């Protein structure tokens, strides 16, 4: 649909998905994404950096949606995606009128059906293993199979995918592509704070927690972060700000006490790698896994 060589999509992570990171993922054969959670002017400048021969999409959080920005993205990007809100046919129509395809990230079968009925072209199926804000409440593979039974749209699997083996499992469970976030937070092109990246490298799945702690300005929205960030924030007491903002590389405060988003795939983050190397590693591992001979039946 987007002339990608590989079925790998960069998660639309607000702030992490700088033009450099999105470009690197698309140039490596995947689908890069920008975040629309910024002003229309900022998004326009970011889109101006995208080479004309690369496909890069734009992701919007419904809570922070700007109509002018949306119309601009639909006219200039091949994919516009939405998250955290009931699928809205009017928004999908804006995307289609601009010439782009529309996607919606969902966390249940009911949401999948609603997104299909709203006219979406693609669904991102998010399992509870995901980092960042989490719509899903059940495991990814089970949800994938249920959504695949309910709708016939292309499905992108999201949540806990950080290795080629996990990618292969998702593709074998009905996904057409996978969506990767945590691994790319630690990419060389990411603008995440060095302390954040170091914390990801040191962490494992059991070091993440699903919480609403960083909910100032966006209450009752569950998100998966490193447990250490909640502990560090608690230790700061009244000095702590519990906004959902994550620390960029120019953050001057206690980065360890900010929202350090991380999915259960965090154990696959072993070093700071170029995005192209991450894509290549995922694809090579997934191909090897999918081509592995199956054991003969004992019957």
Decide: 211 and 225 in contact? Cβ < 8 Å. yes
C-beta of residue 105 within 8 angstroms of C-beta of residue 99: no
For residue 37, what pLDDT is reported? Answer: 85
* Residue 205 DSSP one-character state: G
| Section 12-40 average pLDDT | 91
- 236: pLDDT strictly greater than 80: yes
The pLDDT score that the predictor gives to residue 194 is 97
- The better pLDDT of the pair 163, 136 is held by 163
Tell me the percentage of the chain whose pLDDT exceeds 70: 98
Mean pLDDT of 154-169: 98
Q: Which pLDDT score, from 0 to 100, does residue 140 have? A: 98
pLDDT at 163 over 80: yes
Confidence at residue 15, expressed as pLDDT on a 0 to 100 scale: 65
- How far, in Å, CA of 4 to CA of 51, rounded? 15
Separation in Å, CA 80 to CA 96, 185, 226, 296: 9, 21, 29, 44
Could you say which DSSP state residue 78 is in? S
The burial of 20, by beta-carbon neighbours within 10 Å (0-12 exposed, 13-18 middle, 19 or more buried), is given as: middle
pLDDT at residue 189 greater than cutoff 60: yes
The ranges assigned to domains in the chain are 8-188+270-290, 194-264
- What pLDDT score does 91 carry? 98
pLDDT, tens only, 95-140 = 999 999 999 999 999 999 999 999 999 999 999 999 999 998 999 9
Separation of CA 271 from chain center: 19
Fold classification of 8-188+270-290 is TIM Barrel (3.20.20)
The pLDDT value given to residue 31: 98
Residue 277's pLDDT is 98
Tell me, yes or no, if the pTM score tops 0.85.
yes
Q: Has residue 143 got a pLDDT over 80?
A: yes
Q: pLDDT at position 16, please?
A: 65
Burial 111-120 (b: 16+ CB within 10 A, else e): bbbbbbebbb
- Does residue 17 surpass a pLDDT of 80? no
Sheet holding 56-61, edge to edge: 8-10, 177-180, 155-158, 122-126, 101-106, 79-83, 56-61, 32-35
Q: Indicate the burial class of 3 (C-beta count within 10 angstroms; 0-12, 13-18, 19 or more).
A: exposed
pLDDT surpasses 90 at 249:
yes
Task: Classify 125 as helix, strand or coil.
Answer: strand
Smallest CA-to-CA distance from 194 within 144, 287, 256, 137 is with: 256
* Strand partners for 248: 192
What pLDDT, in 10s, does the model give residues 195-214?
999 999 999 999 999 999 99
Sequence-ordered list of residues with C-beta below 8 angstroms from that of 61, at least 6 positions apart, any chain: 14, 36, 37, 83, 84, 133
pLDDT reading at 296 higher than 80: no
Q: What is the pLDDT of residue 201?
A: 98
Give 177's pLDDT tier (boundaries 50, 70, 90): very high
Rg (CA), the chain: 18
**pLDDT tens sequence across 41-55:** 999 999 999 999 999
Report pLDDT digits (tens) over 71-84.
Answer: 999 999 999 999 99
């Amino acid at each position: 649909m987007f002339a990608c060589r590989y079925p790998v999509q960069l998660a639309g992570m607000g702030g992490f998905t700088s033009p450099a990171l999105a470009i690197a993922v698309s140039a490596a054969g995947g689908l890069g994404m920008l975040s629309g959670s910024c002003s229309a002017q900022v998004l326009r400048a970011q889109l101006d950096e995208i080479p004309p021969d690369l496909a890069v999409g734009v992701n919007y959080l419904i809570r922070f949606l700007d109509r002018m920005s949306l119309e601009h993205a639909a006219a200039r990007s091949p994919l516009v995606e939405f998250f955290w809100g009931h699928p809205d046919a009017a928004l999908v129509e804006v995307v289609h009128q601009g010439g782009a395809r529309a996607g919606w990230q969902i966390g249940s079968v009911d949401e999948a059906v609603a997104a299909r009925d709203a006219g979406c072209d693609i669904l991102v199926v998010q399992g509870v293993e995901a980092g960042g804000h989490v719509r899903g409440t059940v495991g990814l593979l089970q949800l994938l199979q249920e959504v695949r039974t309910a709708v016939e749209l292309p499905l992108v699997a999201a949540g806990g995918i950080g290795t080629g083996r996990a990618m292969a499992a998702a593709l074998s469970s009905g996904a057409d592509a996978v969506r990767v976030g945590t691994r790319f937070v630690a990419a060389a092109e990411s603008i995440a704070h060095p302390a954040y990246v170091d914390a990801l490298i040191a962490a494992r799945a059991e070091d993440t927690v699903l919480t609403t702690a960083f909910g100032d300005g966006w209450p009752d929205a569950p998100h998966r972060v490193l447990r250490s960030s909640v502990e560090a924030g608690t230790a700061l007491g009244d000095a702590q700000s519990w906004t959902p903002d994550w620390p960029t590389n120019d953050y001057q405060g206690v980065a360890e006490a900010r929202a350090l988003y991380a999915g259960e795939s965090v154990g696959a983050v072993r070093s700071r790698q170029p995005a192209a190397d991450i894509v290549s590693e995922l694809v090579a591992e997934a191909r090897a896994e999918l081509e592995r001979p199956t054991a003969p039946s004992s019957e």
